[in-house]
Structure 1
Amino acid sequence: MKHLASLISRHTPGDGMFDTAVPGMALIRQGQPTERIPVLHQPAVCIIAQGAKVVMLGDETYRYDADSHLVVSVDLPLTGQVTEASPERPYLCLRIDLEPALLMALMTERPPPPGSEGSRGVHLSRTTPELAGAGARMVQLLDAPEHAETLAPMIRREIHYWLLTGDQAGVVRQIGAPDSRLSHVARAIAWIRDNYDRPFSIASVAREAGMSPSALHQHFKAVTAMSPLQYQKQIRLQEARRLMLSEACDAQGAGFQVGYDSPSQFSREYVRLFGTPPGRDAARLRSAGMPTAAV
């Protein structure tokens, strides 16, 4: 972990999340604890090399540090907060996007041992030396970019392999299995994300997911800890926040763009999620230079 922390520190010029020249790999650094930051987290494994973080999914809290890593198996609206960080010992994290096709190929070549399927779309596991070592070698490719194109796919494959053989295997297996409950829920999530700004019925989403309405509601909540309508609301509000911060949209315009006909309803629901009215929240974040991406 010390080696991985040293590599991440060397390749992060300051605080924030940095995409790298290796596709699907990002490095995160924070020199002090952060406030709670709602984000839409895509499927990925996040390996902390130094510091600690708390992630919240609905009312559930997950804390992880250099002894553990986080696996997110579907697009989830999470709230993240770095809890242990300082200028002398910053929070340092490696994020690798997960690839369903690669997981499926690995499972075809070597079927994993039987085990229970995980339900939640987020899972904490102990970080093994093998996984940490593969992560360090992935980051080390930034020092030898001429080799990255050849070696990165091999190391990425190794990381996916260790995830398939670890104690989070039940969750990861479902990502690569096209007929798993998680894959059906992921199709529903993709449809809601593409159509978040307009009303929908559970029946229409269930058809897209290839499930009955009752099964969709049950499995959707098991994976995301919320109903499809609650999920849509989170997506709408996070997109409205992005519009105000990234595109200088005013609060009323942002609300209309994401599907709210009533400014007062938009403001009430925004306050419930972010704790502050939309216009005031956007102004505060701009002045503080707060990130809106996962940290």
Structure 2
Amino acid sequence: MASHARNRMTETGIPRVAMVQGKIPEHELNAVYDPMVNLILRGSKTMTVGDQTLHYNPASYFVMSVDLPAIGTVRPSASGEPYLAVALTLQPAVISALMADLPECADKTRTKTEAGFSVASVTADLMDAWVRMLRLMERPADIPALAPVYEREILYRVLQGPQGSMLRDIAIPDSAIARITLAIQRIRRDFAEPLTVEALAQLAAMSVSAFHRHFKSVTALSPLQYQKQVRLLKARTLLVGGGKSVTSAAFEVGYESPTQFSREYARAFGLPPGRDSEQILAKYAEGVR
């Protein structure tokens, strides 16, 4: 099954399931990640969101319940085998339908807003469900009938684990995470536009203080820090893949001052934008992945 995966997220033919293998370019690991359950099969990964860093390997799995800008680093296994991981993108409608069949899940509520990302230990039951899901890659004719069943089982196992509350919040329309997600979607769509915390709080139907508190609890970032991360990640894509100049990229992502853009870019990625993009393109030219 690993032969299907490349060093970027590769579709498997199974809805919402993708795989990745090998040495992934650093700038592709620095991205806005969609809500997902991520399981490592070989190697290890480090994810940094805001000021929080999480480490996980084949003994653990990662759940992200909201779109988050993060910095990732992957490593091969101790024996030198390439990094290999699989991800299931989370869809609220699927989780909601599962919860409707499991009323006890809806009764478990949290008394406070927690981070929208975490790591937990893999159980034998969860791994077994994943193995049966991935075996469908060898039997594509079975995917329409069995993939939805295995997806529900994977989600069920996560719901029963320590991160189940995050999945429940995704499926409850009026939960804090669901309302914060509305603001996140607005930031991602209009990241280049001036946005105020007041307008985002109104969209989330929260007071400004409550919105700021919940947003930072969920994402480990303030709303404006989140917007800045999205802008810088988009600018990096424009510089590397779009052939934009530093000034053009700065203006396109919403900066009024190229100088400020360069300063914040260097703080985020370790190099000024021009040098950073040149280094990335040089690695591609040399075939370094």
Question: What's the TM-score, normalizing by structure 2?
Answer: 0.92
Q: Does 2:169 align with 1:192?
A: no
CA distance in 2, matches of 1:143, 1:259: 46
Instruction: Map 1:1-295; keep pairs closer than 5 Å.
Output: 7=1, 9-12=2-5, 14-31=6-23, 37-85=29-77, 88-111=80-103, 112=105, 114=108, 116=110, 119-289=114-284
CA distance in 1, matches of 2:25, 2:261: 30
Q: Residue 122 of structure 1 aligns to which amino acid in structure 2?
A: F
Which digits, 9 at most, give the CA deviation of each residue in 1:42-82, with x for residues without a partner?
10000011111111111211000011000000000111101
103-112 vs 281-290, which deviates more? 281-290
Closer/same/farther in 2, CA of residues 103 and 36 from structure 1, 3 Å limit: closer
Q: Residue 4 of structure 2 aligns to which amino acid in structure 1?
A: H
Report the alpha carbon displacement of residue 115 of structure 1 after superposing the two structures with TM: 5.3
Report the alpha carbon displacement of residue 34 of structure 1 after superposing the two structures with TM: 6.1
Residue pair 2:265, 2:272 contacting (<8 A) in 1 also:
yes
Closer/same/farther in 2, CA of residues 139 and 75 from structure 1, 3 Å limit: same
Closer/same/farther in 2, CA of residues 10 and 118 from structure 1, 3 Å limit: farther
Partner SS for 2:235: helix
Residue pair 1:33, 1:83 contacting (<8 A) in 2 also:
no
Residues matched between the structures, number? 283
Residue pair 1:141, 1:152 contacting (<8 A) in 2 also:
yes
Residue pair 2:7, 2:22 contacting (<8 A) in 1 also:
yes
Which digits, 9 at most, give the CA deviation of each residue in 1:62-107, with x for residues without a partner?
0000110000000001111013447841111110101111111122
CA distance in 2, matches of 1:257, 1:20: 34
Residue pair 1:19, 1:27 contacting (<8 A) in 2 also:
yes
CA distance in 2, matches of 1:134, 1:226: 34
Q: Residue 260 of structure 2 aligns to which amino acid in structure 1?
A: Q
Gap regions ≥5 residues in structure 2: none
Residue pair 1:32, 1:84 contacting (<8 A) in 2 also:
no
Closer/same/farther in 2, CA of residues 237 and 266 from structure 1, 3 Å limit: same
Residue pair 2:201, 2:211 contacting (<8 A) in 1 also:
yes
CA distance in 2, matches of 1:133, 1:44: 18
CA distance in 1, matches of 2:85, 2:15: 16
Partner SS for 2:93: helix
Q: Residue 280 of structure 1 aligns to which amino acid in structure 2?
A: R
Closer/same/farther in 2, CA of residues 130 and 118 from structure 1, 3 Å limit: farther
Partner SS for 1:16: coil
Residue pair 1:241, 1:278 contacting (<8 A) in 2 also:
yes
CA distance in 2, matches of 1:95, 1:228: 26
Residue pair 1:177, 1:183 contacting (<8 A) in 2 also:
yes
Closer/same/farther in 2, CA of residues 128 and 118 from structure 1, 3 Å limit: farther
Which digits, 9 at most, give the CA deviation of each residue in 1:228-249, with x for residues without a partner?
0110000000011111222211
Residue pair 2:48, 2:70 contacting (<8 A) in 1 also:
yes
